[in-house]
Chain A
């Protein structure tokens, strides 16, 4: 206490009380003629790339589209313009939680849109539940979605779990093996991170059950940039199928490495990043036949229109996995509001039981989850087309073996 004079103490007290009064007042939005929609999304930090590709452009495109059409339609036929309240969560869950509290308790926004990422959506789920907001969690891949939907009954999980994607891939490969196009050996690598682990955990038993032999099965740390060693081991393993449960940097790196060393497996599968619009450029224009997670029904008019609108608004096409679903979730919200208004309980009920016309077709959730998912896509003629599940309308036939690089 020696260095701390009374005057300094009083001064600091004044500072603290000013800060405290800031907490008590703060901005309050008058929301009579507009609908306020808030989101706290990563503009900076580790999640900024994913959010910037999949989430933010779709939020902006949707708000622009709705406002240009005169606003969000209400059950009484009136239209109200959307006003956005946006915060940066700095890719930190602590900041994210606080931002959601701010949106809900301070700004008192009418609706809150979820952040990007599995962990972030889980971090905010208890808050959405506490304040009663419906949560349309799109960019969250988790096998525990059924549990979460039961725990938080206003949460909706729309991207499936690792198990779905792993079995979807195994189905594609099994069909090709049964047709005699590839052998029964698979080389698989996975990134040592939540996503990679989830997928490999689902894939191992699924491959085994389908009678495949995993001749190479290695994980690599997040941040690896040199894939020459694992790729040449995979090449030497005698497998016709190369499978990587990878994040964008790994997906891109492995593509370039395979091209450089002339590794031409009959099936070349990568995960996140393969459906990005920049992928064909990264593959040097030789993306034809590359398989990856996700996919869209590229021949549907709704998807074509959505890709065109996205390109016009954001300057580039959307990714072909979660982007269209993100936009579809916003259309669901829009249609649900038009039917039941902004009451959160009614809105959650409508989202849970209603059927909606969206860019990915008619959507009806099962137990608060989107189960009609495209699990595997393939680059064909410059479009990333869904190939699995093969029996779903709009699926393209896979090209196996993949043409050489």
Chain B
């Protein structure tokens, strides 16, 4: 029964667009997008504990690739190219930075989004002489939703596969202690790079899939660092090293933010900041781990 639950859930979600309003569909797209982002982020960061703030660097790049190519190439091909560019970018970045540890890595990844944004701006200003680009694609909201849902399913499936695979074990050891991992014969660079590239490719694809909804794209719009922060907080809230943790963090937070923007538009940033603090201090390992801990304590008390 348990094994079929994800499949049943997937089918329910896949059929959902037929039952909801356009706004409901918009909500579903937003929720599934963040499930994908948080899960893809956790694919690399969850086990290795390298906190990456580069989510939007890849997400935005995906959107930009679509903006540049959507008039010259068929949509499917554009998506493939976006994924390849994301992978290539992650490879270059990973090779040069995965030696960094702790806070240095966090700072570098935060800077990466800004770097990509400034590079694109420089290129557009000095070479093409235009900054805004248009995406006029006949992709309906439903198609975007289904593509994003499929990507989310692939991400979670891939995570499940990696968890059971040697790679997952290696990542976990790296996260616990890199020196021990190196001594145990785990190829550090290759392992981290593999997970980083897989994660970044999915993030880039997510940006490419979401972009037709924006119509107009410019660096300031697509490289919005809030996306990076939200992704991290969602994954951490649910529990970044669990298979379903990021998804369970993303969905309630996404709906909470939507509620806040409707009902408390002026205090939203304050609430976001408080949530950040709360997650880090109260639930450092995520809600799922918190529940387990609570239950263990309760059981011990009962016995």
Residue on A with the closest CB to B1? A6
A317-346 near B? 1/0 per residue, CB < 8 Å:
000000000000000000000000000000
Is B268's beta carbon under 8 Å from chain A? Answer: yes
Q: Is A46 an interface residue (CB 8 A)?
A: yes
Number of B positions contacting A (CB below 8 A): 59
Could you mark each residue 190-203 of chain A with 1 if its beta carbon is under 8 Å from any beta carbon of chain B, else 0? 00111001000100
Q: A95 to B33, alpha carbons, bound, how many Å?
A: 12
Bound: A290/B255 CA distance, A: 48
- The docked-state distance in angstroms from the alpha carbon of A27 to that of B19 is 17
Q: Contacts of B25 on A, CB cut-off 8 Å? A: 101
What residues on A are CB-neighbors of B33 within 8 Å?
A: 94
Verify A201–B243 contact, CB threshold 8 A. Answer: no
Other-chain contact of B268, A3, A9, A13, A44 (Cβ < 8 Å): A44
B2 — nearest CB in chain A belongs to which residue?
A: A6
Indicate whether A392 reaches chain B with its CB closer than 8 angstroms: no
A63-104 contacts to B, CB under 8 A, are: 86-95, 97-99, 101-102, 104
**A126 touches B (CB below 8 Å):** yes
A23: CB under 8 A from chain B? yes
Binary flags per residue of A105-141, CB closer than 8 Å to B gives 1, else 0: 1100000000000110011011000000000000000
- Say yes or no: is A260 at the interface (Cβ < 8 Å to chain B): no
CB-CB under 8 A from B218, the residues of chain A are 119, 193-194
Contact A23 B27 (CB under 8 A): yes
Answer whether residue A257 sits at the interface, using C-beta atoms and an 8 A cutoff. no
Our pick among A1, A23, A43, A46 for the contact of B220 (Cβ within 8 Å) is: A46
- B214 and A94 contact, CB distance less than 8 A: yes
Give chain B residues whose Cβ lies under 8 Å from the Cβ of A22.
255
Q: Which of B69-77, B81-89, B176-184, B259-267 contacts A (4 or more CB under 8 A)?
A: B259-267
A43, A44, A118, A125: most-surrounded residue (chain B CB, <10 A): A44
Q: Are A88 and B131 in contact (CB under 8 A)?
A: no
- Where chain A touches its partner, the secondary structure class is helix
**How far is A108 from B82 in the complex, measured between Cα atoms in Å?**
37
Q: How many A-B residue pairs have CB under 8 A?
A: 143
Complex: chain A residue closest to B3, CB-CB: A1
If A193-B131, A194-B131 touch, whether A123 touches B261 (CB-CB below 8 Å) is no
In the complex, the answer to whether A119 meets B216 with C-beta atoms within 8 Å is yes
Whether B125 pairs with A197 at a CB distance below 8 angstroms is: yes
Interface 0/1 of B15-39, CB less than 8 Å to A: 0100111111111111001000000
Give the distance in Å from the alpha carbon of A283 to the alpha carbon of B28 in the complex: 49
- Tell me if B108 is interfacial: C-beta within 8 Å of chain A: no
User: Does B194 interact with chain A (Cβ within 8 Å)?
Assistant: no
User: Which residues of B sit under 8 angstroms from A97, Cβ to Cβ?
Assistant: 26, 213-214
Closest to B33 in A: A94
Contact residue among A101, A104, A194 (Cβ-Cβ distance under 8 Å from B132): A194
Which residues of the partner chain A approach B268 to less than 8 Å between Cβ atoms?
44, 88, 90
Q: Which residues on the B side are within 8 Å of A102 (C-beta)?
A: 23, 26
**A-contacting 9-mer, from B95-103, B185-193, B195-203, B244-252:** B244-252
B265 touches A122 (CB 8 A): no
In the complex, what distance in Å separates the CA atom of A246 from the CA atom of B255? Answer: 38
Whether A19 contacts B255 in the complex (CB less than 8 A), given A119-B218, A123-B215, comes out as: yes
Complex formed: what's the CA distance from A45 to B230 in Å? 14
A24 touches B19 (CB 8 A): yes
Whether B273 sits at the interface, judged by CB under 8 Å, is no
Interface flag for A16 (CB, 8 Å): yes
**Closest partner residue, chain A, to B238 (CB atom):** A12
CA distance A95 to B226 in the complex (A): 12
State whether B160 touches A1 (Cβ < 8 A): yes
B224 contacts A92, C-beta separation under 8 Å: yes
Contact indicator A118/B132 (Cβ below 8 Å):
yes
Given A104-B22, A118-B132, answer yes or no on A8-B213 (Cβ-Cβ < 8 Å).
no
On whether the beta carbons of B265 and A221 are closer than 8 Å, the reply is: no
Contact A87 B265 (CB under 8 A): yes
The answer to whether A8 touches B216 (Cβ under 8 A) is no
Chain A hits for B24, CB < 8 A: 23-24, 26, 106
B274 CB–A CB distance under 8 Å = no
The residue that A125 contacts in the complex, of B215, B226, B242, with Cβ under 8 A, is B215
The 8 Å CB contact of A221, one of B121, B215, B248, is: B121
CB distance from A4 to the nearest CB of B (A): 6
Contact A3 B242 (CB under 8 A): yes
Q: Tell me which residues from 112 to 147 in chain B have a Cβ below 8 Å from any Cβ of chain A.
A: 118, 121-122, 124-125, 129-132, 134, 141
Q: Which residue of B lies closest to A130 (CB)?
A: B22
Say whether A179 faces chain B, with CB atoms less than 8 Å apart. no
Q: How far is the CA of A222 from the CA of B223 in the complex (A)?
A: 14
Q: Does B269 contact A (CB under 8 A)?
A: yes
A197 to B3, CA, bound (A): 56
A23–B25 Cα gap in the complex (Å)?
9
CB distance from B184 to the nearest CB of A (A): 22
Let me know if A94 and B30 touch, CB within 8 A.
yes
Would you mind naming 17 contact pairs between A and B with Cβ atoms under 8 Å apart? Answer: A1-B243, A3-B243, A3-B292, A4-B243, A19-B251, A23-B24, A87-B261, A88-B265, A88-B266, A90-B268, A91-B224, A98-B29, A98-B30, A99-B261, A192-B122, A197-B124, A197-B125
In the A-B complex, the 7 residue pairs with the smallest Cβ-Cβ separation, listed nearest first, are A88-B265, A122-B216, A23-B24, A105-B22, A98-B26, A102-B23, A106-B23
Given contacts A3-B288, A88-B266, A192-B121, 13 further A-B contacts (CB under 8 A): A3-B292, A12-B248, A19-B255, A24-B20, A24-B21, A94-B213, A101-B23, A102-B23, A102-B26, A119-B216, A122-B134, A197-B124, A222-B121
